[in-house]
Chains A and B, each alone.
Chain A
Amino acid sequence: MEQNRIDSPLGIYVHIPFCEKKCFYCDFYSIENHSQRDEFIASLVSEIGHFSSTHPKLKADTIFLGGGTPSFLKPQEVEQLLKALHEAFDISDQVEFTMECNPGTVDTAHLSEYRQLGVNRISFGVQSFFDDELKFLQRIHTSQEAVEAFDKARKVGFENINIDLMYALPDQPVERHLTNLGRAILLNPTHLSIYALIVEQGTSLYSAVAGGEIQPADDETEAAMYEATMSFLTGTGYTHYEVSNYSKPGRECRHNLKYWNSQDYIGFGPSAHSHLEKDRWWNVSSLKDYISRTHDKVLPIASRETLTQSQILDEFVFLNLRQGKLDLNQLHAKFMFDPDAEFVSKALEAGYFKRSDGILYLSNKGFTVCDEIAKEILTKAIEGRYLAITAGE
C-alpha cells in the first residue's frame, strides 16, 4: 500500500453487550442479563492491555462505544475503560469520542459526567417519533423521552449529536417516515443515520416474517422511501455521505469513515471486529466465552482473515460506491482494474451515476441499487485485467 498505515491514527471500537431489553429486529450481540458486568469491565481492561503488549502505543483518533447499550455504563465504568485505553494507545487530543445512547436510559447527571470524561459525540437510537412504531420495534422509550434525552444532551454541552431513525417498517406510509424526518431535523442534529429495517436472520423479526405474521415492506415502497429520504435531507442542508448516513458539513462520523475507507480499527469486547493493514479478526460473541478467555489471558478471537488483493478490490469498490463515488483513476492506479466501458456508458445513460474527471458519482437512483452496481462493476471488468491481479496473489 502507499503508506504505512500503522502510522496513521486508527479507530477504537468497544462493544458493550448489555441491553435492558433486546429489540426484536436487532442482530447485534446483546444480552439482558447484567450480572456479569463487573467481570466484563475487567475483561475489557485485560483485553486492551493484552493487545497493547504486542502493539504498544498505536495512535488513535476516534473512540466509539457501541452496543448493546453503552449508556448503560456508569460514568466510573467509562472512566475505568478510558484509563485502560489511554495506557494502551496514543490517543489524539482531537479525538472523536462517540457513545451510543438509548434515549430511555440517560439522565442529565450521567450525560454530564460522560461529557466531562471526554465523550464529545452522542448517537441516539431514536428510531421513530411515533409511539406505536416504537412499540412495534419494542423500544423501551417513548417519542417524548427521545426529545427530552436530546435536549438534556444539548444542555450538558453535547454539540455533535446523531439521531438514528428507521423506515420501511411493515405498512408504514411514506408520509409517516417523512414526518419522522421532519421531527428529527427540528432538533437540529449534526448527523442522521436513516436505516431501512433489515430482516436479519436469527432475530425475532425474522421468525415473525418467516411465520407470515409480519409482511415486510416491498422493494418498491422501500426504494421510494429511500429516495424521499435522500432528497428531503439533502434539501435541508445535510450531506449524504454514505448509503444511510447524512451530516452537516464537516460532521461526518470520522470513526465510521474508517470502516468505509478500509482504514485501521481495533475492536474490543464480544463480537467486535478489527482491521489492521490486510488482516481482519473478530472476537467471540458470547459474553461468557469472552470473559473466560480474557481471564485466561487468551485473546478472545473467534476467527481471522488476511485479505487477498482481489478481496481488497471487492471491498474498495463496494465501500466506495456506498459513499456515493468511485474514482476510476484510483481504481486503475491501485488495482490495474477498469470497469467495462460499455457498462459504464449504459449506466450513465440510465442515470445511475454521473461522471466527472474520471470519478463516478451515484445519483439517488444509483444509491437504491448501489450493491447491484458494485456487483456489475466487479463482474463486468475486462477479464484479462482482473485475472492479472488475482493471478498475482
Chain B
Amino acid sequence: MSLPPQFIRNFCIIAHIDHGKSTLADRLLERTGTITEREMVDQILDDLPLERERGITIKSHAIQMKHMAPDGNEYTLNLIDTPGHVDFSYEVSRSLAACEGAILVVDASQGVEAQTISNVYMAVDAGLEIVPVINKIDLPSAMVDEVTKQLVDLIGCKEEEILLASAKTKVGIDEILEAIVDRVPPPAGNFEGPLRALIFDAKYDSYRGVVTYVRIVDGVLKTNDKVLFHKTGKSFLAEEIGILQMDRVPAGELEAGNVGYLIAGVKELTETRVGDTVMLADNPADSPLPGYREVKSMVFSGLYPAQSEHFEELRDALAKYKLNDAAFLYEPETSTALGFGFRCGFLGLLHMEIVQERLEREFGQTIITTVPNVEYKVIKTAGEVVLVDNPAEMPPPTQIDHIEEPYVTAQIICPSEYIGNVMKLCMDRRGIYKNTTYIDPKRADVRFELPLAEIVFDFFDRLKSLTRGYASFDYEYLENRESDLVKLDILLNAEVVDALSSVVHRDKAYDWGRRLSARLRKLIPRQLFEVVIQAAIGSKVIARETISPIRKNVLAKCYGGDISRKRKLLEKQKEGKKRMKQIGRVEVPQEAFLAVLSLNEEE
C-alpha cells in the first residue's frame, strides 16, 4: 500500500510542563476518531503512572491519525510526542528531526517559559514549521494579548497566525488540524534511494524485545528486510514493521516520509541507539543521517539497598529498569559506610529522581541515595588525567595538580521584579553573568554560566522560592573549567563516612562544612552514646557538632494491658532501625545521606 507523501504530515507538540500538551494530544486523537471519548483514559500518551502524576512525558511516543480535510483528501498525521524536560533534550532533538512541523503550545495564563524557548529554538534550528497555539484561553487569568506579543517576538510570526484554543473545553481543535495540513510541509526525501531511517525512540517490550520507533527518510523498509544499525554495526532481520495507532498495527512496509515501528529481534536496548540510522544490510546508504550522539551522564550518585541483604534484588531491578532506559548507566561500587551498591549516571536531576522513584514504586526497592555529584576531571601532578564521578575516590590533595568541573549555560526566565533575587542566587552559586534580555516589559531572560555542581545542590527549589514559583530554568552543558575545589569529608565519631564526602569550592568549604554538620545534627537521632560530627578537609577539621546521648526513654507503666502494646511499639522501632545505617556505633537515618540537598541557604 503506497502512501503518497503529499498526504503525510509529521509533527510534534512543544510545550512547557502543565501548559496542556497531553490534553491537546488527547483532543486530536479524539477529533480524528483515533480513539473514542469512551475509550479515553486521560492523557493517553503518558502511559507510565509516574508520567501521569507528574504531568510530564518522560519517554517520547508516536501515534498515527487519519484526518479527512475540507479539501476532500484524507491525510495521515503522525504525532511524535516529545519529552518536556531539559534532561531529555537529546531525545527532544531526535523527535524533532523526525518531524516537519511543531505545534508550539503556550499556556494563556503563564506565557512563554525557559524550556519552551530552548525547545522552540531547537525546532527552528531543525527547520520545522512552527504552528503557535495559545492554550487555556478559557481560564479567567488568560492574558491572550500579552502572550500573543511574546510569541510574535519569539518566533517572528504574524499575530493572525497564532491559533487560540482550549484543549479542555475543545475549542480550536479543528483549526489546529487544518493548520497542520495547510502549514506543515509534506515530508521530502529520496523515495527511490537506499533506505535511511532515523531511530527517534526505542522501548523495551517484555514479549518482543526492543521496539524501535523510526522515521523513514529515504527508501522503503519492508518486512523480512535484513537491516543494519549504522552506529552499532549490527544486523537484524526486520520481523515486524508497522504503524503506531493506539496499539502497534503491523504493515508490510513503510515508505519514505512515514513514521512507524520496527521489531527486529533486538534483545537489549543498548543495541539500538536513539539517533542512529537504519539501513539495508545488503544495500547500505553511503552516509548515515546526521544527529547521532552518545548519551552523556551529567549527574552521578550512589544507589544502595537500604538493607544490605537486598543487594541482589537491587541489582536485578536495575538490570530490568535499564532495559527501558538506555540513558541510565550503572556499575557496582562499594562504600565502607553503605556496603555494596551502585554508582549511577543520569542525564540530569529530574532523570535521577525519576529513576529512584520508579525503582521504589515499580520495582519495590527501598534504596539509599547518596548526594548527587558531577564528574570531575582531575589532572594529577604526574600528568595523569582521571575522571572522578564519586567524591570518595578523589585522589589525595598532594597528588592533584588541578581539577576541572563541568560548566553549563543557564537560562532563567522570570518576572522583572525578581531579577535581583535571581542574580544573587546565581552569584552565590559561582555564576558568571552573561546577559539579560526582555521577552516583554515584564519578563526577563537572564543568562549565566554556572558550574553544574552548583545546580545539582538545591538550585531549582531555591530559584522557585526566590521567585514565588514564577521562574523557569533551562541549562545546557558548556565546557569543563578549572576550579579551586577541595574534598570535604564528614566524620562520625572520628570515622570518615565515605558516602557523605563531597567536592566543594575552597571558598565555600567552611560554610558548607558548618552547615552540613549542623544539618546532620538535626537529622541523626539522639542515641545511647554521644555522637561527634566533624567536617574536615584532609586532616583539618573545620566544623564540629555534638549530639548528646538520649536522656529519657522509658515507659512509666507496663502492666497486663500494656505489654502487647509495648512489644508492638518495640517491633515497630526495630523495623525503623532497620532503615537506619549503622556507621561505627552511630545509627544514621537514610535522609542524612541527602542532607546536603536540603541545606537551606538561610541556615
A interface residues, Cβ below 8 angstroms from B: 13, 195-198, 219-220, 222-223, 226, 243-244, 256, 259-260, 265, 267, 271-275, 280, 282, 305, 311, 314-315, 318-319, 322, 342-343, 346-347, 350, 352, 367-376, 378-379
Contacts and interface: CB of A to CB of B under 8 A. Distances in A.
Contact of A376 (B528, B554, B561): B528
Interface string B509-538: 000000000000000000111000000000
Given A318-B566, A346-B585, A369 B553 contact: yes
Contacts of B573: 375
B567 A372 contact: no
A223 B528 contact: no
Contact of B558 (A322, A378, A379): A322
Nearest to A352: B528
Interface stretch (B430-438, B451-459, B544-552): B544-552
Contact of B574 (A256, A267, A375): A375
Q: In this complex, which of B550, B570, B574, B585 has the most chain A Cβ atoms within 10 angstroms of its Cβ?
A: B570
A309 to B, nearest CB: 13
Interface string B559-573: 111011011001101
B555 A243 contact: yes
A92 to B, nearest CB: 20
A243 B557 CA distance: 8
Given A371-B553, A375-B574, A273 B566 contact: no
Contacts of A271: 561
Contact of A369 (B528, B574, B585): B528
B577 interface: yes
B559 A220 contact: no
B1 interface: no
Contact of A372 (B553, B556, B558): B553
Interface of B: 527-529, 549-561, 563-564, 566-567, 570-571, 573-574, 577-578, 585
A244 B552 contact: no
B585 A319 contact: no
Contacts of A379: 574, 577-578
A226 B551 CA distance: 11
Given A273-B561, A350-B529, A373-B528, A378 B554 contact: no
Given A350-B528, A369-B528, A372-B528, A198 B574 contact: no
Given A372-B528, A373-B528, A379-B574, A259 B558 contact: yes
B567 A369 contact: no
Nearest to A303: B564
A311 to B, nearest CB: 6
B556 A196 contact: yes
Contacts of A219: 551-552
B559 to A, nearest CB: 6
A369 B552 contact: yes
B555 A275 contact: no
A368 B560 contact: no
B369 to A, nearest CB: 23
A347 B528 contact: yes
Contact of A265 (B551, B560, B567): B560
